Amino acid sequence: MIKTTSILLDELKEFASPKSKPARMAQSGECFSVTRGLYETDPNVPGYLLAGSIYGPSYIRLLQPGAIKKT
């Protein structure tokens, strides 16, 4: 699931230093940074699903299976 920094900070507000927790989570492998301010919690998510979050609209989305219909 894609989460913004503000969503993570809201979820981590009970920690002593919630602002540094997302970076530590990325280092430990709990999530990974997609771009500045966006994190993904599933390491197996296909790249085409992240394309719209990184830079939208994106032609990478055309590469998803079943996106091009044969007539």
Whole-prediction pTM value? 0.63
Burial 16-52 (b: 16+ CB within 10 A, else e): eeeeebbeebeeeeebeeeeeebbbeeeeeeeeebbe
Residue 26's nearest CA partner among 40, 46, 12, 14 is 40
Highest mean pLDDT among 2-6, 46-50, 60-64: 2-6
Instruction: For residue 69, name the pLDDT band (cuts at 50, 70, 90).
Output: low
- Of the two residues 62 and 42, the one the predictor is more confident about is 42
Q: Where are the chain's structural domains?
A: 2-63
pLDDT tens, residue by residue, 6-58: 998 899 889 888 888 888 888 898 888 888 888 888 888 888 778 777 766 54
38, 3 in Cβ contact below 8 A?
yes
